Chain A
């Protein structure tokens, strides 16, 4: 069992609020990824759950028991530290076996478990080395091994893959997934790598400045970002965000900006408001200006074209804003060329200009329901 509930959790360092009133219910067996930019409070949140630091306010509950002030050892959690924290004087085998040794397991059993874990993490030949004789990625795997050798109530992992090369990272990611599926353990996993977050998580908690921006499945977070911050964090390149205005015009609801015309749906009495228009680079298509009437149109000029390997990304200016547009290589564009882009109406996101929160369309009663731009 390992249900973790955070209730208004806050941690202040002097004037700095590292973690700011977080409510989160992490179900047993969930793989929750804490995602956010550097310094947003991910490690601090993890340490609060581990009990290594004490909160300035709020509570931590583990299986409905208040453990806010319980010592770390009583919580029965395993943690992978961002700095690995491998014991420098012990060999790899002893580092990995440390939790079992502390639990007074017989030596032969420890040896056997260590070998199993080492095989899983491809550390076989390194068991007699000391941490300083390992590469960064190898150290990281030892730290992971020390955590997974136990059967704790939950795993806390602070960027456990950040130092691995692309191939090993993908392999270890797959191992984590299998491990999570077989053990069914609760995992709280910190990363600032969105691919890792999207591929591993059952739910993602997006953090910014110590606050929760959005909590949802990878699909929800990616397809319906709750705020400009989330939209601008996910995707590579991230979502294009342009200042625009929603207006009712000629019996249609439209989003307009310089060089941008997006026709949404029929409707007259919509109050005008300043918005941010969001479109993902991969959802843009090139079109000729004589497209069917009513399709969204962005007119701009190509600034630069970037080779991404399988694809190409073009950086364009539309009005005063920069728009990234991504598609199969070659795009057939060159710098200085005028370009007309379009997208499906479903792929249009709107956010409030001042609060940055997502806008959803709510149809008035007695009116034909317009096709919502997003479900």
Chain B
């Protein structure tokens, strides 16, 4: 038989390209705008209550002014900033702030982690009761708490010295005063931090622990190799909150208990700022300080958020 092989035809590639009609511009625009409309109230509030004062502070930081409406503002350029950076008190206050923040981590990161790990096995009603107990101090207003502690820290009749069997003048000795500020703030925050860590623990899939248990890892190995690494974003979050807020959270205690003393040894940066702004009425100077702190804490926050993102392991 005579013949020839013919190739089976391939499917030809389409040459004309039909374009689907896009929805009309008005509809697309409306769709794009809607989410921003929902954001508007929040952004509005932020603008009025946060960004506008911030801008005002920026403006004020270039002037010398004593807060009296009758006195004119005097433009001084970067003078306030120069004075601020040369101020020895600022360095002391920064050092005290850093130390107190670090010490506070014990109450906002270390202890909560230990407590949450130990109590993670408690379930049902027991859990509710214990959560309520440990959370209670969070609900005590800081100033009320400070008054209460002032009474308990009294060197002659206070409960604390009686229990310790010592005669420490908590408010007028440097080290004890610093410890008192940190411990009382920590007592306020501990419950909240424990709840945050417990929530973080609950968010870790139990299957990882099951797998590790079957792989014959010890309890300590599982905590160190599985639980803590998976919990690290939560812990970084707590550390971030502590760094950003320790200054403001200790403020009411400093103000009620020690007024920054003894010898300015409990004066943190915010208390210093407040003293300059509202006791010495050096408004421009205080504004410069406020802006400087704002920028510095902003940089720290960005760094820590980056770290937290790096530590977050999404599965699946």
Do the two chains belong together in a single complex?
A: yes
* Chain A minimum-CB-distance residue to B216: A73
A83 at the interface (CB under 8 A from B): yes
Cα distance, A43 to B308, chains bound together (Å): 35
Q: Which residue of A lies closest to B204 (CB)?
A: A88
| 7 closest Cβ pairs, A-B complex | A88-B313, A102-B217, A99-B215, A85-B211, A85-B207, A88-B315, A89-B313
Assembled-state Cα–Cα distance A78/B315 (Å): 22
Q: Inside 8 A of B315's CB, which chain A residues have their CB?
A: 86, 88, 131-132
Cα distance A77–B215 in the bound complex, in angstroms: 8
On chain A, the residues within 8 Å of B51 by CB distance are none
Give A residues with C-beta under 8 Å from B: 50, 52, 71-73, 76-79, 81, 83, 85-90, 98-99, 101-103, 130-132, 146, 150
> With A and B bound together, what is the CA distance between A77 and B214 in angstroms?
7
Known contacts A89-B229, A89-B313, A132-B316: does B216 contact A99 (CB below 8 Å)? yes
Report B-chain residues with C-beta under 8 Å of the C-beta of A146. Answer: 211, 215
- A101 CA to B225 CA, complexed, in Å: 10
A-contact 0/1 string along B181-215, CB 8 Å cutoff:
00000000000000000000000010110111111
- Apart from A87-B225, A98-B217, A146-B211, what 7 extra A-B contacts exist at CB < 8 Å? A52-B210, A73-B213, A85-B208, A87-B208, A98-B225, A102-B216, A146-B215
CB contacts (< 8 Å) of B226 on chain A: these are 87
B219 to chain A, nearest CB (A): 9
Taken together as a complex, chains A and B put the C-alpha atoms of A73 and B219 apart, in Å, by 10
Identity of the chain B residue whose Cβ is nearest the Cβ of A143 in the assembled complex? B211
Set B212, B217, B230, B314: member contacting A132, Cβ < 8 A: B314
**In-complex Cβ contact of A78 among B205, B214, B218, B225 (8 A):** B214
* Shortest CB distance B31–A (Å): 32
Chosen A-B contacts, 27 in total, with CB atoms closer than 8 Å, are A52-B210, A52-B214, A72-B213, A73-B217, A76-B216, A77-B214, A78-B215, A79-B211, A79-B214, A81-B207, A83-B207, A85-B211, A86-B315, A87-B208, A87-B225, A88-B314, A89-B229, A98-B217, A98-B225, A99-B215, A99-B216, A102-B216, A103-B216, A130-B313, A132-B315, A146-B211, A150-B215
Near A by CB (< 8 A), chain B positions 219-269 give: 221, 225-226, 229-230
Contact of B215 among A52, A102, A130 (CB under 8 A): A102
| Bound: A4/B313 CA distance, A | 37
With both beta carbons as reference points, the residue of chain B lying nearest to A50 in the complex is identified as B214
Q: Is the CB of A89 within 8 A of B230?
A: yes
- In the bound complex, residues from chain A placing their C-beta under 8 Å from that of B207 are 81, 83, 85
Please, which residues of chain A bring their CB within 8 A of the CB of B217? 73, 98-99, 102
Contact B313 A81 (CB under 8 A): no
Do residues A132 and B313 form an inter-chain contact, with CB atoms below 8 A?
yes
How far is B112's CA from A31's CA once the two chains are assembled, in angstroms? 47
Least CB separation from A130: chain B residue:
B313
A285 to chain B, nearest CB (A): 35
Chain B residues in 8 Å Cβ range of A131: 315
Min C-beta distance of B248 to chain A, whole Å: 33
The distance in angstroms between the C-alpha atoms of A50 and B211, with both chains bound, is 10
A336→B269 CA distance, assembly (Å): 92
Residues of B within 8 A of A79 (CB): 211, 214
**Separation of A79 and B226 alpha carbons in the complex (Å):** 17
**Residues of chain B lying within 8 A (CB to CB) of residue A76:** 216
Give the residue among B208, B212, B214, B313 with the most A Cβ atoms within 10 A. Answer: B214
> Could you tell me if B208 and A72 are in contact, using CB atoms closer than 8 angstroms?
no
With A and B bound together, what is the CA distance between A276 and B207 in angstroms? 44
Known: A102-B215, A102-B216. A85 touches B313 (CB 8 A): no
Chain A residues contacting B214 (CB-CB under 8 Å) are 50, 52, 72-73, 77-79
Find chain A residues with CB under 8 A from B212 CB.
87, 98, 102
Verify B205–A85 contact, CB threshold 8 A. yes
Q: Is the CB of B229 within 8 A of A98?
A: no
Cβ contacts B285-316/A at 8 Å (1 or 0 each): 00000000000000000000000000001111
For residue A165, give the distance in angstroms from its CB to the closest CB of chain B.
Answer: 19
B234 to chain A, nearest CB (A): 14
Contacts of B218 in A (CB 8 A): 102
**Which chain B residues border A103 with CB–CB below 8 Å?**
216
Please determine whether A81 and B215 come into contact, CB atoms closer than 8 angstroms: no
Chain B residues within an 8 Å CB radius of A98: 212, 215, 217, 225
A56 to B241, CA, bound (A): 46
A85 touches B210 (CB 8 A): yes
Interfacial chain B residues near A78, Cβ < 8 Å: 214-215
* B190 vs chain A, min Cβ distance (A): 27
User: Smallest CB–CB gap between B42 and chain A, Å?
Assistant: 33
Q: Please report the C-alpha to C-alpha distance between residue A68 and residue B313 in the assembled complex, in whole angstroms.
A: 35
For B314, the chain A residues whose CB sits under 8 A away are: 88, 132
B289 CB → nearest A CB, Å: 41
The complex places the Cα of A355 from the Cα of B218 at a distance, in Å, of: 50
Please indicate which of the listed interface residues B215, B221, B225 has the most CB atoms of chain A within 10 Å of its own CB: B215
CB–CB B230/A88 < 8 A: yes
The distance from the CB of B207 to the nearest CB of chain A, in whole angstroms, is 4
Chain B: minimal CB distance from A139 (Å): 9
Q: Which residues on B sit within 8 Å (CB–CB) of A86?
A: 315
- Cα separation A78 to B215 with both chains bound (whole Å): 7
Q: How far is the CA of A98 from the CA of B214 in the complex (A)?
A: 11
Docked pose: A150 CA to B215 CA in angstroms: 9
Q: Which of B221, B229, B313 contacts A102 (CB 8 A)?
A: B221
Q: Report Cα–Cα, A52/B216, bound state, in Å.
A: 13
Question: With A and B bound together, what is the CA distance between A168 and B210 in angstroms?
Answer: 28
CB neighbours of B230 from chain A (8 A) = 88-89
Q: Please, which residues of chain B bring their CB within 8 A of the CB of A88?
A: 208, 230, 313-315
Q: Closest CB of chain B to A104's CB: distance in Å?
A: 9
Chain B: CB-nearest residue to A83: B207
**Residue in B closest to A77 when the chains form the complex, CB atoms:** B214
User: How long is the Cα–Cα vector from A260 to B179 in the complex, in angstroms?
Assistant: 94
How far is it, in angstroms, between the C-alpha of A103 and the C-alpha of B229 when the chains are bound? Answer: 20
